[in-house]
Chain A
Amino acid sequence: MKRLLRLYPAAWRERYEDELADLLTEFPASPSVLLDLIRGALIERSSARWRVTGSYPIPAGGQPMFEHPVHRHPTRLALLALLLVTPTLLFVVTSVLAYQLEVPGMEAVVDPLITNIAAMPWIDVILVTAPFVAAILAAIPLVGIGSGLADGERQLTLTLRARALNVFVLVTSVLLGGVLFLYLLTEFVLEAAR
């Protein structure tokens, strides 16, 4: 029955999910409880309070509520970012193994692949851009911005979260994109100097 709580808006769940889940442990599962939860979720979803992006109430004495449209899918966004950054990661890792570390046998395997990939139009732009797009996707769920009234005053809240997968993908993407960008920039400058 706790799975039904996923029907509620993310910002609402942020504040009340644990409490309601705890209360549900004392309720025997029944059609009336099930309908009550669905009805409650529909009411919260139809409430403008939870639909207006970037403007969420701060309850007196409670925790700030905030919601971003994609705040509710941190894992999905992290996996999407990982998928996006994977081609660049493979490209960089295989290139380093073959050409920088000169692992025996690697160059023979990697060289034809790199040659074919390098021939693709816009491939350098795509490979450099992908990590930065991935970094943004991974970072979005880590930041929550909210506003609301507390003690009669409007307050803004900026909340940073530390979700391990998102932080990992974010850091990896930024490092990868940065290294590749600097490498290509160096290549370009050296090429121009010749």
Chain B
Amino acid sequence: MPAADSHSRDPGLLVLISLADGPKHGHAIIQDVTEFAGIRLGPGTLYGALARLEEAGWIAALPTEGRRHPYRLTKTGQAALRTRLTGLDTAVRVGLGRITAS
């Protein structure tokens, strides 16, 4: 299976996770995602995800810091991320349990 294939198809989830510990600008998000997921998001992919998340109200733009534009996770986004991760957590536990049992 390609490494982290499912994550790479869901850059929005990676961005939400990245913003969960505080606001970040684009470059910081890319660095953070690279560190925790081993995936380097392309600039087009990142901004496609940011646009969709912002439209959904899951993230919000903060005032510009110099040339950089930070984003923060909204309460709605936090709730959505929690729901998503809880679902994934259940799937992971079930999957690992079945592998262990077999």
Contacts and interface: CB of A to CB of B under 8 A. Distances in A.
Chain B binds chain A: yes
A43 B48 contact: yes
B97 interface: no
A22 B42 contact: no
B82 interface: no
Interface string B60-102: 1110000111000010000000000000000000000000000
Interface string A20-38: 1011101100001101111
A27 B48 contact: no
Contacts of A6: none
A26 to B, nearest CB: 5
Given A40-B48, A61-B61, A19 B26 contact: yes
Interface of A: 12, 15-16, 19-20, 22-24, 26-27, 32-33, 35-41, 43-44, 49, 57, 59-62
Contacts of A24: 43
7 contacts: A32-B42, A36-B42, A38-B44, A40-B43, A44-B48, A57-B55, A60-B54
A22 B74 CA distance: 24
Say whether chain B's binding surface is mostly helix, strand, loop, or mixed.
Answer: helix
Contacts of A26: 27
B55 A20 contact: no
B27 A23 contact: yes
A36 B42 CA distance: 6
Interface residues of B, number: 21
Contact of B44 (A15, A39, A60): A39
A33 to B, nearest CB: 6
Interface string B16-51: 000000000011000000000000001111111011
Contacts of A27: 43
B42 A61 contact: no
A62 B60 contact: yes
B74 A60 contact: yes
Contacts of B69: 19, 22
A81 B51 CA distance: 34
Given A37-B44, A40-B42, A60-B60, A16 B51 contact: yes
A49 B52 CA distance: 10
Contacts of B48: 40, 43-44
Given A36-B42, A57-B55, A59-B57, 8 more contacts: A19-B69, A20-B44, A26-B27, A36-B43, A37-B43, A39-B44, A61-B62, A61-B74
A81 B45 CA distance: 38
Contacts of B26: 19-20, 22-23
